[in-house]
Amino acid sequence: MAMKSQGSSSDKNCKVSFRKKLLIIDSNLEVKDVERLKFLCIGLVPNKKLEKSSSASDVFEHLLAEDLLSEGDSFFLAELLYIIGQKKLLQYLNYTKEEVEQLLPIKGKISLFRNLLYELSQSIDSENLKEMIFLLNDSLPKTEMTSLSFLALLEKQDKIDEDNLTCLEDLCKVVVPKLLRNIEKYKREKAAQLVTPPVDKEAELLCQGEEELVSQTDIKTFLEALPQEESWQNKHARSNGNRATNGAPSLVSRGMQGASANTLNSETSTQWAPTYRMNRDHRGLCVIVNNHSFISLRDRRGTHKDAEILRGVFQWLGFTVHIYNDVTKVVMEEVLQKQKCNPAHADGDCFVFCILTHGEYGAVYSSDEALIPIREITSHFTALQCPGLAEKPKLFFIQACQGEKIQPSKSIEADALNPEQAPASLQDSIPVEADFLLGLATVPGYVSFRHVEEGSWYIQSLCNHLKVLVPRQEDILSILTAVNDDVSRRVDKQGTKKQMPQPAFTLRKKLVFPVPLDALSL
């Protein structure tokens, strides 16, 4: 009984301590901050409760009552503080700004619509507000309003909602045209989040279960079971046969392993594989994991250049891009689980996952230096684990070393760690099924190079070739071959260090990105 009493006392002290932190946060917030908190909580906390709230502590009480806040999970409050610009107060919830940024796409509760209205409110000054009120004067009460209360009133009067922004667009066209860009951005992001009819219970259970990793034997069995007609990869390999024998780029695939260019007859040489469908509601999601800082490993200077150009190019191609910086193993697992079960996949054409970090053969490092096998990452997106991506191309681009350490020159660094034994097969990193492509910055056993100011050889070349060759309707394997050729010709200042990228794939069709209508501006 004494032990039980002691435990109860400890729990009570913890709750008191947590409430003390909430009071500290409350004391650091102004009246305008309370208004912002109340606005962001619309739809999550009953309106009557919010209307009666006169302080931040009142709002916190409602969050506790609605199970939106607890000592064990204070992320929603962290999200609110981050949005309203009170990032210094995150320390009282044991969060950093960077941690909140990483977790927002995964654990965030504020809707796209609420975020849009809040962003707009911060850009509507007092003069803009007066003009908007004047335009709607007949339908508004004669009370003093802020930009937030004005938008909240439009919502309360059913003049705007998440699917109808016509009234707001009309106001912005007249008063603040630049805000139309925010609304268009919201529409694109909302389209990427369109939810299709609920998946069946079996699929729901799959999303909650453990990932099933695959063995090299399974991969060999799968590769042997692929269709025997000549794939486009074979034809592509044959057309580049002379270059391949001279040490130029090679593409690892079932077709290239199973047939020689000299044995293919003239009839099959004229066959081309069909192309993947690229006309759904949106192109798809692109996830970028960008690790710069580590616990003991060297910082990856220049990696921000890679993240920036990847974001620009894939947004240009129509993808919705999410960047996660300095991702720990825990956050990586949350990202993978979130993306594996993302309902937006159902309406997308494709999926792209880019990882910029340190690595060893067949694995990459998280920012807290946990070694994560590449196949553990890719296996989240098989048809079994991620039904929304079934029969759709899944592309993984990894800028990380895959082997032994090399002494770098001053401006060239290697994303390498400890030497590894020679690998058995690159195919071991991709799941046992079709429609995967894994693009590694270097062949197994060797380092890849990154310029500390200009970014990595591989990612910069990949993005530059996408910019040039997508408008020419080149398919992804042709583009990667050009990337291989480009990177293989590069050397460091001393002319002693070279690099050879290597893709592995089980694509069944040609992947050709539609030519974007807008010009690319990076």
End-to-end CA distance of the chain: 67
Residues 470, 515 contacting (CB under 8 angstroms): yes
Most confident listed range (250-264, 345-359, 455-469): 345-359
Superfamily of domain 115-193: Death Domain, Fas (1.10.533.10)
d(CA 220, CA 217): 5
The answer to whether 18-110 and 282-406+431-519 have equal CATH topology is: no
d(CA 470, CA 283): 14
DSSP per-residue letters across 173-221? HHH-GGGHHHHHHHHHHHHHTPPPSPPPHHHHHHHHS------HHHHHH
The neighbour count for residue 123, using CB atoms within 10 Å, is 13
- Per DSSP, the three-state class of 271 is coil
What would the two tokens of residue 61 be? 């009480």
d(CA 308, CA 327): 17
Q: Rounded to the nearest 5°, which phi and psi values hold at 45?
A: -120, 135
d(CA 330, CA 134): 51
Please state whether the predicted TM-score (pTM) of the whole model is above 0.85.
Answer: no
Please report the pLDDT score of residue 490 as a whole number.
62
Please report the pLDDT score of residue 204 as a whole number.
31
d(CA 238, CA 42): 61
Confidence check: pLDDT of 212 > 50: no
Confidence check: pLDDT of 411 > 60: no
List the catalytic residues.
358, 401
- Assigned architecture for domain 282-406+431-519: 3-Layer(aba) Sandwich (3.40)
Q: Could you read off the pLDDT of 272-320 as tens digits, one per residue?
A: 568 999 998 889 999 999 999 999 888 888 888 899 999 999 999 999 9
- CATH for 18-110, options being 3.30.70.120, 3.40.50.300, 1.10.533.10, 1.10.3720.10: 1.10.533.10
d(CA 364, CA 266): 43
Taken in order 40, 45, 51, 54, is the CA torsion positive or negative? negative
Q: Give every CB contact of residue 68 below 8 A, 6+ residues apart in sequence.
A: 44, 45, 76, 109
Residues 373, 362 contacting (CB under 8 angstroms): yes
Q: Could you read off the pLDDT of 138-161 as tens digits, one per residue?
A: 778 888 899 999 999 999 999 999
Please report the pLDDT score of residue 31 as a whole number.
95
Please report the pLDDT score of residue 314 as a whole number.
95
Place of tokens 């020159």: 409
Domain boundaries of the chain, sorted by first residue: 18-110, 115-193, 282-406+431-519
